[in-house]
Amino acid sequence: MADDVIDADELDPGFKYEISKQPGGENLKLCFQCGTCSGTCPVRAINDKYNPRRIIRMALLGMRKEVLCSDFIWLCSTCYACHERCPQNVRIPELMFAIRNIALREGNIHPVYKGYVDALDGHGRLLEVGEFENEKRVKYGLPPIAEEKERVRKIFHHTRIKDRTDGKLKGGEACATEGSK
Amino acid sequence: MRYSLFVGCTIPNRFPGVENSTRVILGPDHLGAELVEINEFTCCPALPTFYSTDRVTWLVTAARNLVLVQDKNADLVTMCNGCFSSLLKATEELENVNKCNFVNAALASVGKQYRGRLVRREGNRSIYEPVRVRHIIEALYTDFGREGIADRVRHPLSGLRIAVHNGCHFLRPTTRTSVDDPAKPVMLDTMVEAAGATSVDFPDKQACCGAGGGIRLQVPKLANAITKDKYECIHAAGTDAIVTGCPYCLYQFDHAQKDLKVHPIPVLHISQLLALAFGVDAEHLGFEWHFVAVRPFLKKVDAVGVV
Amino acid sequence: MSESKEDAAVKATRPAEGATGAPRIGVYVCHCGLNIAGSVDCHAVAEHAKTLPNVVIASDNRYTCSEPGQEQIKKEIKEHKLTRVVVASCTPRLHEPTFRTACKDAGLNPYLFEMANLREHCSWVHLHDRGAATEKAKDLVAMAVARAALLEPQEEAEVPVIRRALVIGGGVAGIQASLDLAQAGYKVFLVEKDPSIGGKMAQIDKTFPTMDCSICILAPKMAEAGRHPNITLLAYSDVADVKGYIGNFKVTVKKHPRYVTKDCTACGDCAKVCPVVVPNEFDIGLASRRAIYSPFAQAVPSTYVVDIRNCLGMNICRRCVEKCERKAIDFDMAEETLELDVGTIIVATGVDAFDPTALKDYAYGVYPNVITSLEFERLINAGGPSGGRLVRPSDMAIPKEVAFIQCVGSRKRVNEKGHPYCSNICCMNTIKDALLIKEHWPETKITVYYMDIRAFGKGFEDLYNRAKEHGVKFIRGIPAEIEQDNTTMDLVIRSEDTDSGKMLVRSYGMVVLSIGIEPRQDNEVVQKLLTLSRTSDGFFLEAHPKLRPVDAPTPGIFLCGCAEGPKDIKDSVTQASAAAARANILMAQGKVRVEALTPVIIDELCKKCGACAKVCPYHAIEFDKEKKEVPGVITAACAGCGTCGAECAFGAISMRHFSDETLNAEIDAITAEDACRKTVAFCCNWCSYAGADFAGVSRMQYPPNIRIIRTMCSGRVAEKMVLRAFQRGAGAVLVAGCHLQDCHYINANYQTLKRVERLWKKLEQKGIRKERLQLAWISAAEGERFASKVKEMARIVDTVTKEECDKTAQLLSKEKKEG
C-alpha cells in the first residue's frame, strides 16, 4: 500500500458527506488526525492493517472503493477506547458501523454477519438452544427456553433485513473482486 | 428486588453453569432476590451484527425483549456485557417518540407494543419510564453492596489472587448511561474482594479481550493476539483465576489460552466465583463446560478452609 | 389611518418645521458606474422620486460620492434651500460619513441626511431581473424619502474626560500599559490582586525565541512601575465596583491588609522564624513558604505580606513581630477602601494555566514524574525550588529521557478534555524548554509528541530548526495514555507516529504536559463590573476583531494581553502599548463626542415603571425604585441601541434619529402597495444588515420581494412595529440581529428574542400563522445565511393569499381600536 500513488481523479470528494449523512457518521469531518485513536486501538496494536486514523483519512480524501471494499472496516472490536479518548468526539466505532452500512448497500458484507442474521432467523438466537440444550438445562434444574424463532422471523420479515444481508438491495455497484476474507 | 434474568445466547449454549450460579446466589438460600421467569426472550440482539446490517431490526428485536419485561414490575438483569450494552442502548433510543412509534408499528406484527414500565398514575394519565436494564455486577454492587455479599460468604477465598476483567461494554461508551467509572472501575473488584479474594493490579487492566465486534468469528488469530497481550500482563502479576462479568470475554480467554498453548489460568464468571464463596458445591456451577480446567483453582479454594 | 395618542404626543414635542413649513427633500440616484445602473433603471427611479411627497428635486448621476457628485449636492442644498437630502446609492455603512460631511459643509445638519441602499441590497442581488430590481429601488427610495421627511436636526453631546487611567492587572501587559501612560504624563492607578506584580511572566525561566531570562527583562519594568511618580501601585487589591461611563468612571478598590508596613526592608528575618510552612503558589506547590513571606525575590512591592488565613495569630505566636527590627509588622492593619475617579480603564487581567488533573489517562497528580510545563519552568529556573536542576519528583534524579506532550487542554472539542481553541504559546514554549534541557544536559533524549507545530512568529521557525538540529525528536501523534513502570517510576508512552503509520513505544524518566492557558475564573466578575462581553471561550471580546482589536465594546475601556486571548509576551506588550495609545487619544482631548442616537424621555407620558432602565445593557438609565421619579439618561454611557425605546409601553421614549415615527414611515412606505407579496425586514446595523451587505458584495442572488429597514440594534424593534407591518397587509416579517452571544450592544438581542416569542404567542392566539414572522441571528460574515433566509421567506410569502393578508390586517386593526 505504501508504494501506491493515489490517482486524484479517482477521489470522490462527496464520500465524506455521504458518510456524514449515515447515522453514526455525523462527526467524521471533525477528525484532525491526531493519532490518539490509533495509539490506543488494541486491534491496530496487533495488525496495522486496521488503523482507524488511516481509515478516516482515506474516507476524508475520498478513496471510496478502497474503504468500502476492504476488510479492515470489519475489524473494529467495538472496545470504545478510542471513543472515550478522541478529543474531537468523532465517535469512531459508530463511524465504522456507518461505513459498514454503506458497504453493505454496495453488496460488500462479511459472511459472518450474514451467518449471524441467518442464525437468528433460524433459531431466534445466535446459538441454537434446541431440544438438546434444553435437556441439559432441565438436568441442571434450569427452566427450558422457548425457541421464539417465529416471532423473530416475523420481525425480520417486517423490516426486510434479509434483503440487505442477502445482497438484494438495489443501487450501488458491488465491490468487484475482493469482497471479504 | 425483583429481577428478570436475561440469559442471552452464549450462556445457555456454552456456559449454562453461569446461569445456574446466578440463580443460586440470587436464590432463597443466599441473597434472596425475587426472580421473575420469562422464557420467551430471544437474542438481545447482538449490537455489532445489527449495527453493521440493519439498525431498525436491532431496535425492534431489542424492544420486543423489553416489552416482555415492561409489565412485570421487575428489572431486566443481564449476565453479559453485550446484552447489557444492547438492551440499555435500546431503552435510550426508545425515549425518542418518533423512533418508538416506528418500532411499535413493526412490533404490531408480533402483537406487541413498547410503552416502558408504569411508575405512577396522575389522575387518568399513566406515567411510564424506560424499562430498567441492569448488569448483574451493578445489581449486586448497588442492591447488596460489599457488606451484603460478604455477609453471605461462607467460604472466604482468602489469599486467592484474582485478575478482574471488566470488559469493554460494561464500562463504555460513557455517552450512554455510565454505570461505573471507566477509568477506575470499582464494582467488580469490590465484589471479588467481598468474596475474600484479592483483586490483583496489572497494567492495561481495562484493555479489550479481543473477541468483540465480530473479530473472534472473522479473524480468530487476531482476537487471540489481542488476548495474548492481556494474558501476559495477568500472568506476570501472579494470578490464580481470571474473573469477568461477560460470557463472551470468558469464552475468549478460555479458548485463546488453549490456542496459544500458554500456562493455563482458569476463567470464571463473577456469579460462579461468588457461588463458590457462598459455599455452593462446585458441581452445580458448570465448570465442565470450560476449556481451561478449573479444577486447579477449585483445589486452591478448598485449601483455604471453611468458615 | 387614525393617529394614536402616542403619535400625537411625539409630534407635539417635535419643533415646528420652521418658517419654511414642509421639508424640502433632494434625491440623488447614483449609477455607480454600472454597479447599480447595470440592473436598475436609475433614471426611472429618479423620475419616480420626483412624484414623492416633499421632494423638490431629483436627479441621477454616475458617481455621487465623487468630488463633482458631492459638489452638486452642496450646490443644490443652497440653491434649492433643501432641508433634507437622500442619496440612493451604496450601503450607508460605506459612505454615510462621506455624505454627512458634505451636508455639514453646505450648512445642513448631518443628521438630516438619509441613504437608500440600491447596490448591496438591490442591484447586486437582483442582477437578472431589471424590472423587479427597478420596482424595488423605487420602493427603497420611497422609504428613504418618507423617513427623511421626519428626521430632526441633532447635536452631538460632548462629555469631559478625566485625565487619569486605571489599569487592572499587573502582569507584563498591565505594567507596560501603565508605564506608557505614565510616561505620557497621565496619572495611573495599577491594581493587582496578588501581593506582587509580575504575573505569569515572572514565573517563566526563559522566553522564546531569544532565550532571554524572563525575570531579568521583567524586573526592571516592575521596578520602574513601582517607583514611577505617575503610577500609584495598589497591590494585594481588588476592584470591588465600577460606576460611571466613558471619561468619568468611579471605581471602588479594596486594598487587603498586608499586616506589614512600608518600613519593611525585605530582610527576611521574620520568615526565618515563622513556624507555619505552606506550599508556595509561585513555585506551584513544588516549594514551600512561610505564613509571612515575599512571593519571590524580585517582588514589587518588596514589602512582605502575612497570609492571614494560615498565620497562627497574635494570641498563639508573635515571633515575627518580635524579630522585626524595623517594627514593620502591624496586625492592626485593616482593609482600605479607595474611591478613584478615572477617565479610562485598561483590562489586563491575564490567564490561568490549564489543570490537567481531570485527564485521567495522563495520570497527572498520580504518577509523580508527570509534570506540567509551568512546573517545568520552576524546576529549570536557577531561582526555583531545585536550584535549576531538572529533577524528577520521585527520586530527585535528572531524567535521561524526557517527553513533551502537546495540546494538553487545548484543541479539544470534548469539554472534559479541555478547550476548543489553540493556546498559541505551547508549541514554542516546548521548543524553548527542549533547548534549555539540551543546554544543560546535552545527552538527554527528548521527544515531542505533537499534532501541529505552530512556529508562526519572528524567529520562531529558526528556534524550531535549532531544536531539531540539537537532536530533539518530533513525533506527529498524540499519545492516548501514559503508563508507569512501578519499579523504576519511569513512564511508558505508546503512540502512533502518524507520518509513518508505525507504532512507537518509548520509556521516559519524565513527561512534561504542555498545558494550555485558559480564561481566569474571575473573568465573569470583571465582566459584570465593567459591562464587557466575552467570547464563547471565555476571553474578553474586542469591539472589532480587525479594526479595533484593543477596544472593548463599552466605550472608554480597553483590553490587552492574554485577557483578550492567548498570546505570547511580545504580543501582550504590543497590545498593552496599543491600549495605552487608545486611552491616550481619549484623555489627550479631554473630551469625547457621543453620536446622537440617544433616547429622550418624555416626562408627561412616563409612568415611572423602570422597564427601560432594566433592559439597558449599559446601565445608562438611572431609575430609583423608591423615589419613583422620571428616569435620567446618562448620554455618555448610552451606545444608542434603542432597546429602551422599544421596551417602553407608554411611548414615553423617543429615540434620536431612529424615532418610532421614522421607522413607522418606512413600514408604511413599504406596505403602501402590494404589501401582501413583500417581506418587511428589520436588520441590525452591525450584524444582519452587514450580513446582507456581504451577500450583496458576494453577488448572491435572492428573490426581490424583501425590503430592509435598518436599525442600530435588533433591540430597537418594538412589538408594535411588527404588528403595524402585519396590520398594513405585509405578507411576512423578518427580525434579524447578531448571534445571541455576540450582540454589538452586549445583550440587547435577548430582549429581541423575548419580544418575538411574545409576538409568536400573540399571533397564534389570533389564528395568524406564526411562520409569517421569522427571527434570524445572522452575523456580518454570514451572507449565505442571509440569502437563504430571504429565499425561505419568499417561499412562505408565496403561500400567503391576499385574503389571508386582509384577514390578518382586519384582526389586528380591530385590536388597535379596542386597545
Residue A54 lies in a domain: yes
Q: What is the pLDDT of residue C10?
A: 45
Altogether, the residues listed in chain B come to a count of 307
Residue B209 lies in a domain: yes
Burial class (CB in 10 A: 0-12, 13-18, 19+), A138: exposed
The CA distance from C420 to the nearest CA of chain B, in Å, is 19
Q: pLDDT tens for residues C575-625?
A: 999 999 999 999 999 998 888 899 999 999 999 999 999 999 988 999 988
- State the first-to-last Cα distance of chain A, in angstroms, to the nearest integer: 18
Burial class (CB in 10 A: 0-12, 13-18, 19+), B99: middle
User: Are residues B70 and B179 both part of a single domain?
Assistant: no
The 8-class DSSP code of residue C42 comes to: H
The answer to whether residue C503 neighbours chain A at the CB level (below 8 Å) is yes
Q: From chain A, pick out residues whose CB is under 8 angstroms from the CB of C514.
A: none
The pLDDT of A137-164, averaged and rounded, is 78
Q: pLDDT tens for residues C396-435?
A: 999 999 999 999 999 999 988 999 999 999 999 999 999 9
User: Are residues A98 and A137 both part of a single domain?
Assistant: no
The answer to whether residue C454 neighbours chain A at the CB level (below 8 Å) is no
Of B183, B184, B203, the CB nearest to C483: B203
pLDDT band at C49, cuts 50/70/90?
A: very high
Q: What is the pLDDT of residue A167?
A: 66
Cβ distance A142 to B19 less than 8 Å, yes or no, reads yes
User: Are residues A22 and A73 both part of a single domain?
Assistant: yes
| B residues 195..224 contacting C (CB < 8 A) | 203-204
| Residue pair C512/C404 in contact by the 8 Å Cβ criterion | yes
Residue A177 lies in a domain: no
Task: State yes or no: pLDDT of A180 exceeds 50.
Answer: no
User: Are residues B282 and B160 both part of a single domain?
Assistant: yes
User: Are residues B126 and B202 both part of a single domain?
Assistant: no
User: Are residues B181 and B276 both part of a single domain?
Assistant: yes
Cα-based distances in Å from C564 to C208, C222, C543, C558: 21, 22, 11, 10
Q: What angle do CA B190, B195, B199 make, to 5 degrees?
A: 50
Task: State yes or no: pLDDT of C8 exceeds 60.
Answer: no
Task: State yes or no: pLDDT of B174 exceeds 70.
Answer: yes
Distance CA C615, CA C747 (A): 9
Of B183, B203, B204, the CB nearest to C360: B183
User: Are residues B125 and B196 both part of a single domain?
Assistant: no
- Domain C158-255+335-350+521-591 fold is FAD/NAD(P)-binding domain (3.50.50)
What CATH number is associated with residue B28? 1.20.1050.140
The answer to whether residue B173 neighbours chain C at the CB level (below 8 Å) is no
What CATH number is associated with residue A62? 1.10.1060.10
Residue B222 lies in a domain: yes
User: Are residues B95 and B60 both part of a single domain?
Assistant: yes
Task: State yes or no: pLDDT of C792 exceeds 60.
Answer: yes
As a CATH number, domain C257-334 is: 3.30.70
Q: What is the pLDDT of residue C20?
A: 55
Is 1.10.3470 the CATH classification of the domain at C1-156? Answer: no
Q: From chain A, pick out residues whose CB is under 8 angstroms from the CB of C417.
A: 87
| Residue pair B199/B151 in contact by the 8 Å Cβ criterion | no
DSSP string, C176-210: HHHHHHHHTT-EEEEE-SSSSS-GGGGG-SEETTT
Q: Which three-class secondary structure state does DSSP give residue C342?
A: strand
Q: Which string of b and e fits B203-234 if b means at least 16 CB within 10 Å? A: bebbbbbbbbbbbbbbbbebbbbbbbbbbebb
Residue B4's nearest CA partner among B134, B130, B178 is: B134
Q: From chain B, pick out residues whose CB is under 8 angstroms from the CB of A127.
A: 9-10, 12-14
The pLDDT of A84-112, averaged and rounded, is 89
Distance CA C329, CA C269 (A): 12
The CA distance from C451 to the nearest CA of chain A, in Å, is 5
CA R_g for chain B: 20
Q: Looking at B71, B102, B134, which one is the last position of a domain? A: B134
Cα-based distances in Å from C702 to C40, C126, C738, C773, C782: 15, 7, 21, 19, 14
Q: pLDDT tens for residues B215-252?
A: 888 888 999 999 999 999 999 999 999 999 999 999 99
Cα-based distances in Å from B212 to A43, B48, B135, B253, B269: 11, 8, 18, 12, 17
| Angular region, B167: left φ>0, alpha ψ -120 to 50, beta rest | left
Residue ranges of alpha helices (H) inside C228-266 are none
Q: What angle do CA A5, A10, A15 make, to 5 degrees?
A: 115
User: Are residues B169 and B128 both part of a single domain?
Assistant: no
Altogether, the residues listed in chain C come to a count of 819
pLDDT band at A177, cuts 50/70/90?
A: very low
Give the range among A100-114, B93-107, C513-527 with minimum mean pLDDT: A100-114
The answer to whether residue B29 neighbours chain A at the CB level (below 8 Å) is no
What CATH number is associated with residue B212? 3.40.50.11810
User: Are residues B88 and B181 both part of a single domain?
Assistant: no
Of A47, A125, A154, the CB nearest to B43: A125
Q: pLDDT tens for residues C345-383?
A: 999 999 999 999 999 999 999 999 999 999 999 999 999
User: Are residues A19 and A99 both part of a single domain?
Assistant: yes
User: Are residues A21 and A61 both part of a single domain?
Assistant: yes
Residue B266 lies in a domain: yes
Q: What is the pLDDT of residue A175?
A: 58
Across the beta sheet with B241-244, what order do the strands follow?
B198-199, B161-165, B241-244, B267-269
Q: Which three-class secondary structure state does DSSP give residue B130?
A: coil
Domain range list for chain C: 1-156, 158-255+335-350+521-591, 257-334, 352-518
Q: Which domain holds residue B262?
A: 154-304
Task: State yes or no: pLDDT of B155 exceeds 70.
Answer: yes
Q: What is the mean pLDDT of chain B?
A: 91
Q: pLDDT tens for residues C649-687?
A: 999 999 999 999 999 999 999 999 999 999 999 999 988
Cβ distance C476 to A35 less than 8 Å, yes or no, reads yes
The pLDDT of C226-244, averaged and rounded, is 95
The answer to whether residue A100 neighbours chain C at the CB level (below 8 Å) is no
Q: What is the pLDDT of residue C636?
A: 81
User: Are residues B113 and B175 both part of a single domain?
Assistant: no
Residue B140 lies in a domain: no
pLDDT band at C1, cuts 50/70/90?
A: very low
Of A127, A146, A181, the CB nearest to B39: A146
Distance CA A77, CA B81 (A): 14
Give the range among A120-134, C284-298, C555-569 with minimum mean pLDDT: A120-134
Q: pLDDT tens for residues B103-153?
A: 998 888 888 899 888 888 888 888 888 999 999 999 999 999 999 999 999
Task: State yes or no: pLDDT of C75 exceeds 70.
Answer: yes
User: Are residues A135 and A92 both part of a single domain?
Assistant: no
The CA distance from B227 to the nearest CA of chain A, in Å, is 10
Count of domains for chain B: 2
Residue B15 lies in a domain: yes
Residue type, A45: A
Residue A63's nearest CA partner among A1, A10, A3, A4 is: A10
Cβ distance C361 to B183 less than 8 Å, yes or no, reads yes
Task: Give the global pTM.
Answer: 0.81
**Enclosing H/E stretch for C639:** none
* Cis peptide bond upstream of B220, omega within 30: no
Q: Which residues contact B24 (CB under 8 A, 6 or more apart)?
A: B30, B275, B278, B280, B284
| Residue pair C235/C194 in contact by the 8 Å Cβ criterion | yes
User: Are residues B20 and B94 both part of a single domain?
Assistant: yes
pLDDT band at A163, cuts 50/70/90?
A: confident
The pLDDT of C507-519, averaged and rounded, is 97
Top residue of B11, B22, B42 to mutate, by most chain A CBs within 10 Å, is B42
Residue A179 lies in a domain: no
The answer to whether residue C361 neighbours chain A at the CB level (below 8 Å) is yes
Distance CA B222, CA B228 (A): 10
Domain C352-518 CATH superfamily: FAD/NAD(P)-binding domain (3.50.50.60)
Q: What is the pLDDT of residue B51?
A: 86
Q: Looking at B134, B164, B185, which one is the last position of a domain? A: B134
Top residue of C360, C364, C484, C494 to mutate, by most chain B CBs within 10 Å, is C360
Residue A136 lies in a domain: yes
User: Are residues A117 and A100 both part of a single domain?
Assistant: no
Residue B242 lies in a domain: yes
Question: Which residue of A lies nearest to C502 if distances are taken between CA atoms?
Answer: A48
Question: Which residue of C lies nearest to A88 if distances are taken between CA atoms?
Answer: C413
Q: Which domain holds residue A29?
A: 8-105
The CA distance from C405 to the nearest CA of chain A, in Å, is 12
Cβ distance C502 to A48 less than 8 Å, yes or no, reads yes
The CA distance from B220 to the nearest CA of chain A, in Å, is 11
| Residue pair B24/B30 in contact by the 8 Å Cβ criterion | yes
Q: Which string of b and e fits C688-706 if b means at least 16 CB within 10 Å? A: bbbbbbbbbeeebebbbbb
The answer to whether residue C494 neighbours chain A at the CB level (below 8 Å) is yes
The answer to whether residue A54 neighbours chain C at the CB level (below 8 Å) is yes
Task: State yes or no: pLDDT of C564 exceeds 50.
Answer: yes
User: Are residues B281 and B197 both part of a single domain?
Assistant: yes
Distance CA C710, CA C560 (A): 33
Burial class (CB in 10 A: 0-12, 13-18, 19+), C97: exposed
The answer to whether residue A16 neighbours chain C at the CB level (below 8 Å) is no
Beta strands at C336-342 and C517-519: parallel, antiparallel or unpaired: unpaired
Distance CA C48, CA C685 (A): 28
The 8-class DSSP code of residue B288 comes to: G
The alpha carbon of residue C463 and the mean position of all alpha carbons in its chain are separated, in whole angstroms, by 34
The two domains C1-156 and C158-255+335-350+521-591 share their CATH topology (first three levels equal): no
pLDDT band at C818, cuts 50/70/90?
A: low
Of B16, B49, B212, the CB nearest to A137: B16
The answer to whether residue C169 neighbours chain A at the CB level (below 8 Å) is no
User: Are residues A56 and A138 both part of a single domain?
Assistant: no
Cβ distance B60 to A158 less than 8 Å, yes or no, reads yes
User: Are residues A125 and A158 both part of a single domain?
Assistant: yes
Residue B76 lies in a domain: yes
| Residue pair C384/C215 in contact by the 8 Å Cβ criterion | no
Residue A141 lies in a domain: yes
Q: From chain A, pick out residues whose CB is under 8 angstroms from the CB of C413.
A: 30, 87-89
Q: What is the mean pLDDT of chain C?
A: 92
Q: pLDDT tens for residues C260-281?
A: 999 999 999 999 999 999 999 9
Residue type, C676: C
Residue type, C712: M
Residue bearing cell 452631538 = C156
Task: State yes or no: pLDDT of A79 exceeds 90.
Answer: yes
Q: What is the pLDDT of residue C321?
A: 94
Q: From chain A, pick out residues whose CB is under 8 angstroms from the CB of C411.
A: 32, 87
Residue B208 lies in a domain: yes
The CA distance from C494 to the nearest CA of chain B, in Å, is 12
Q: Which residues contact B192 (CB under 8 A, 6 or more apart)?
A: B162, B164, B198, B199, B243, B270, B273
Distance CA B268, CA C273 (A): 63
Distance CA C126, CA C701 (A): 6
Of A32, A38, A85, the CB nearest to C496: A38
Q: What is the pLDDT of residue C314?
A: 87
pLDDT band at C216, cuts 50/70/90?
A: very high
User: Are residues A76 and A26 both part of a single domain?
Assistant: yes
Residue A176 lies in a domain: no
B-C C-beta contacts closer than 8 Å: 5
Q: What is the pLDDT of residue C16?
A: 39
The pLDDT of A162-176, averaged and rounded, is 59
Phi, psi of C453 (to 5 degrees): -105, 120
| Residue pair C384/C283 in contact by the 8 Å Cβ criterion | yes
pLDDT band at C9, cuts 50/70/90?
A: very low
The answer to whether residue B214 neighbours chain A at the CB level (below 8 Å) is yes
Count of domains for chain A: 2
Distance CA C629, CA C622 (A): 10
Supply the angle between the helices C130-149 and C42-50 in degrees, to the nearest 10. 40
**Residue B134 cell numbers, joined:** 441492569
**Residue B68 cell numbers, joined:** 416482555
Prediction ipTM score: 0.85
